[in-house]
Amino acid sequence: MPPTMPGYETKQERIAVTGVGSLDIRSLRDRQQFADPLGLALRLGISSATWPLFGLLWPSGAQLAACMAQRPVRLGERVLEIGCGLALPSLVGHRRGMDITASDCHPLASRFLRNNLRLNHLAPMKYRHGAWGAPQPAAVTATTAHSTTVRERYDLLIGSDLLYDRDASVALAGFIGLHAQAAAEVWIVDPDRSNRPAFTRLMADNGFGLTQQRLDTVATSTAPLYKGRLLVYQRAA
């Protein structure tokens, strides 16, 4: 029987990431899990249909984790993962010694992060509430389990499968504008979403140029086929 937490079931998997070894990850058992007895997620705009998405391992997240395993650790570089969910890329960066902060708008993301840090015998890492849309009411953010919202600026901002609809892309570009340093990089792994060109135009308006790399892989016994790309947006000071 899978382990349970209040109102939902979880499972544990060992995820291999080339360059950093394996990570043990606690996730939701499946997309049918839901528990929001106090209505906190609903007040944050998270419906019952989208509630479990944060707690699943997604192919684009695994691709981003692999990219972070290969990126050189740079002294003084501050990294923010946007929409981290289970934060596999952040855990990879943290294990490698990066100064990385995970962020998400889901009220349980920080709980799963703390659990997965313990499973892998990793030191605590920074977590911030990161909502891309309008600022959340103080009464809502005050009841979340994490300490503060994202307020600072970062040298590298990363995320996976974030361009899932046009409104989200617009909000994401605005969020990046608020939290990227004058000279910054943005890494987004995108499974060929149709909103990519519109998002790229918004990023160009903020001074970011784009290079991209295909990340297509064939299916194996341990991983599904993947089609997508790493989008690297860069802005000089």
Q: What percent of the chain has pLDDT over 70?
A: 91
Mean pLDDT of 11-26: 95
Contact 109, 61 (CB under 8 A): no
Q: How many CA atoms lie within 13 A of 199 on its CB side?
A: 26
Q: What pLDDT score was predicted for residue 139?
A: 43
CATH code for the structural domain at 4-235: 3.40.50.150
- Range of weakest confidence among 2-6, 52-56, 173-177, 221-225: 2-6
Q: What pLDDT score was predicted for residue 45?
A: 84
SS3 68: helix
Tell me the per-residue pLDDT of 88-104, one tens digit each, with 9 for 90 and over: 999 999 999 999 999 99
pTM for this one?
0.91
Distance between CA atoms of residues 83 and 8, nearest Å:
21
151 vs 229, higher pLDDT: 229
pLDDT over 50 (residue 87): yes
Contact 87, 15 (CB under 8 A): no
Q: Binning pLDDT at 50, 70 and 90, where does residue 221 land?
A: confident
Which residue reads 């920074």 in tokens?
A: 126
pLDDT over 60 (residue 142): no
| Contacts of 217 by beta carbon, 8 Å cutoff, 6+ apart | 223, 225, 226
Q: What pLDDT score was predicted for residue 41?
A: 87
Mean pLDDT of 166-175: 91
Q: What pLDDT score was predicted for residue 143?
A: 44
pLDDT over 70 (residue 36): yes
Q: Binning pLDDT at 50, 70 and 90, where does residue 1 land?
A: very low
pLDDT over 70 (residue 11): yes
Q: What pLDDT score was predicted for residue 3?
A: 60
Q: Tell me 83's DSSP state.
A: S
Q: What pLDDT score was predicted for residue 9?
A: 95
Q: Binning pLDDT at 50, 70 and 90, where does residue 220 land?
A: confident
SS3 45: coil
| Contacts of 117 by beta carbon, 8 Å cutoff, 6+ apart | 91, 94, 123, 124, 125
Contact 226, 63 (CB under 8 A): yes
Distance between CA atoms of residues 116 and 82, nearest Å:
18
Q: Binning pLDDT at 50, 70 and 90, where does residue 146 land?
A: very low
Q: Binning pLDDT at 50, 70 and 90, where does residue 140 land?
A: very low
Which residue reads 């002294």 in tokens?
A: 75
